[in-house]
Amino acid sequence: MKAMKTWLAALLALTMLFALCACGNQDGGVDTPPAGESTQPVQGASIEVYTNAYFAPFEYYDGTNIVGVDVDIMNMVGEKLNRNVNYTNVEFGTIIDTVSAGKLADVGAAGITITDSRKEQVDFSDPYFTSVQYVIYPAGSMTPDGTDGEVSYILWDSLAGKKIGVQADTTGDIYVDMEINAVDGDDYDLGRDGVLLNSGAEEVRYDSAQLAADAVGAGQVDVVVVDQLPASYIVEKNSGYECAALYYAGGDGEAPYPTEEQYAICVTKGQDELRTAINEVLAELGEDGINDLVMKHMGLE
């Protein structure tokens, strides 16, 4: 397996500086967004967007409003099409099925990773962000296995025997389940056994990455696996945590490499005008525009 080379390398270099600081942060308290959901969708000309507002900086609560990178993008789409945009906070695992049905939601915007199985249900925009999986753990409880430039990383093998928290139905959930349970010939198409197969590792699913991180603090799980920027955000806002990139060991002389995936916005199949408008906005933003949105919502601009 080879690590992907992405057009967002410059952004990752910038955000890694934040991650290096945040992952060693020992100050601050829990930043818990308010409970509740946005107004229920209404039928009509509005664009109905389903999201999960506990995945900063891509979507999160600011007071009672849902904001974030994906919200900014979809607001630009609404302006382009001269349509209002409504946002509804739901469990992440319901988004793909709801958008596929095309009745309550036209769009799913929630840092959604492109996968082959999801492409069978919905249409995806062009990818706009490449993320790396990270491990959150209690400060001092783990020692990184190595460094890749300025990035400290922990190998999957080091999670053997650990109770691993994830946000249900996210890429972290998919990867952890795959590495704990997959054997050669499974639907995961690994062509090998999972790294954590028969290692004693156990997966525990939560409704949000923040709840999984709270479980680490309560001693209910040992670590959390989640995307890089949400991991950095959580560690920055909570005391007593550290984080590091999650890498595969590599093989046949290959150096260790990160666990990566690409984000895109999904639409109901057949919504070609809407998908085209989303792709146009992403193209107009380009690397610099996406970088600026991420920096803004990470508080780094």
The confidence score (pLDDT) of residue 14 equals 42
Q: How far apart are alpha carbons 277 and 180 in whole angstroms?
A: 40
The confidence score (pLDDT) of residue 238 equals 86
If you count them, how many residues does the chain have?
A: 301
The confidence score (pLDDT) of residue 184 equals 63
List, as one string, the DSSP characters of 183-230. -TTSTT--SS--TTTTTT-EEEEESSHHHHHHHHHTTS-SEEEEEHHH
The confidence score (pLDDT) of residue 5 equals 34
The sign one gets for the Cα dihedral 215, 221, 224, 225 is negative
What pLDDT digit, counting tens, does each position of 223-245 carry?
A: 999 998 889 989 988 889 999 99
The confidence score (pLDDT) of residue 293 equals 95
Is residue 144 within 8 A of residue 155, CB to CB? The reply is no
Report how far apart, in Å, the C-alpha atoms of 268 and of each of 12, 43, 59, 118, 228 are: 30, 15, 20, 11, 28
> Nearest-CA neighbor of 204 among 215, 195, 218, 193?
215
Nearby residues of 218 by Cβ (< 8 Å), 6 or more positions away: none
- For 39, the token pair is 């107004």
The identity of residue 292, as a single letter, is D
pLDDT in tens, the chain (301 residues): 333 333 334 344 444 444 444 454 444 333 444 444 433 333 348 999 999 998 889 999 999 999 999 999 999 999 999 999 999 999 999 999 999 999 999 999 999 999 888 999 999 999 999 889 999 999 999 999 999 999 999 999 999 999 999 999 888 998 999 999 987 655 555 556 899 999 999 999 999 888 999 999 999 999 999 998 889 989 988 889 999 999 999 877 889 999 888 999 999 999 999 999 999 999 999 988 998 999 899 887 6
- Let me know if 256 is exposed, middle or buried by CB neighbors in 10 A (0-12, 13-18, 19+): middle
- For 27, the token pair is 């100050």
